[in-house]
Structure 1
Amino acid sequence: MNPEPPVTSDASKVVTPESLRQKYESGATVDELVAASGLSYGTVLNRLHEAGTEMRTSWQTRRMRQDPQARQRLAAHLRALYEQRGATLTELATAGAGTRRAARRLLIEAGGAVRTPQQTLRIRAAARAAERHKLALTLRARYEAGTTVPELAEDCNYSMATVYRLLHQARTPMRPQHNHGPARDMRKRP
């Protein structure tokens, strides 16, 4: 004789992993989800993991509850870093999201679009080129004001060749070359 199958509660069928995830991400704890759903602690955890939920620590939950707008502010801050400074998801994780996955989720919640790595590289290359152009213009202004190339190289901690290259990129009209060594006394010839 076969034993009767266990009776399953209808509550376990109604509570979806996505609904648990939404409640959890809005600030509910696992214990509160267990009490509200009638599911066991392990089942709630399994369904949260199944939905791809990023779990928080107790201190993160307390911080979220103290300031319910904290998640939205963090998401907006991370989006600004991502879009204006070309930060990567790894840098966003370090800036407060915790993990790359959480950073991605917060970025999307704030209305941002995730870039490909190639797009990030292009943004960063453009930013470096803009900084280099700005430096070249600064060097040009100082050179035209009378500062010598060796002085510019020493101040900027660049080689003289790099300073010359930056000056040429800024289309600087160059002064005639001078001997930068010690002055020679032309009267004394050996």
Structure 2
Amino acid sequence: MTPHPPATSDASKAVTPQSLRRQYESGATVEELVTASGLSYGTVLNRLHDAGTTMRTSWQTRQMRQNPQARRRLAARLRTLYEQHGATLTELATAAGETRRGARRLLIEAGGTVRTTQQTQRMRAAARAAERHKLALSLRARYEADATVPELAREHSYSVATVYQLLHQAGTPMRPQHHHRPARDMGRRP
């Protein structure tokens, strides 16, 4: 079973090269843009290039971040990732190019409250459940528009059993199954 449905091309097109450039020029790193946008590293680089962005070295980024305003922007960005997207301190550290301790310090500077591991796990489980429910409802809509269960399974790279489970979860009224007899038995009565 695939944990998440594949990203649609519409979602990736919503992140424009110009918006990536504005974020990068305000102090975001390529890694932060990857984390925030959900795009691949290469796609982010290509879109920054398409927007005519002048790229920084890691040294220039560090110098920029020593600027108090840039540090506040970074801290606010990390808080958003942490609170709205459920990122862990390790993920924040990666996004900020910091240690876990440095990411934690920035999060607290931005007014964030550090979660326990259990709180993070519950938050992520709730997000997965919401995503699964959303998928179940979209499968139901396609099924009610006359798609078959095997077609839905192929489209989403799920097993037929998983599609049935998701349809059941969405409360889908199932169509009756057709039982076909062999052609030679069609004319006979028992």
TM-score tier (shorter)? 0.5 to 0.7
Does the alignment pair 1:112 with 2:119?
no
In the TM superposition, 1:122-137 aligns within 5 A as 122-137=122-137
Deviations 1:14-35 (A, max 9, x none): xxxxxxxxxxxxxxxxxxxxxx
Does the alignment pair 1:138 with 2:132?
no
Matching residue of 1:64 = 65
Question: Residue type of the partner of 1:96?
Answer: A
> Measured at CA, do residues 94 and 141 of structure 1 come closer, stay the same or move farther in structure 2, by a change above 3 Å?
same
Does the alignment pair 1:154 with 2:158?
no
Question: Residue type of the partner of 1:126?
Answer: A
Matching residue of 2:175 = 175
Matching residue of 1:42 = none
TM-score (norm 2): 0.62
Root mean square deviation, CA, Å: 2.4
Where structure 2 has 5 or more consecutive residues not aligned to the other structure, the ranges are: 1-57
Where structure 1 has 5 or more consecutive residues not aligned to the other structure, the ranges are: 1-56
Question: Which protein has greater RCO, CA pairs closer than 8 Å, 6+ apart?
Answer: 2
Count the aligned residue pairs. Answer: 130
Greater than 6 Å deviation, 4+ residue runs: none
Matching residue of 1:22 = none
SS of equivalent residue, structure 1 residue 172: coil
SS of equivalent residue, structure 2 residue 143: helix
**How far, CA to CA, are the matches of 1:125 and 1:154 in structure 2?**
26
Matching residue of 1:91 = 91
Matching residue of 1:100 = 100
**How far, CA to CA, are the matches of 1:132 and 1:186 in structure 2?**
45
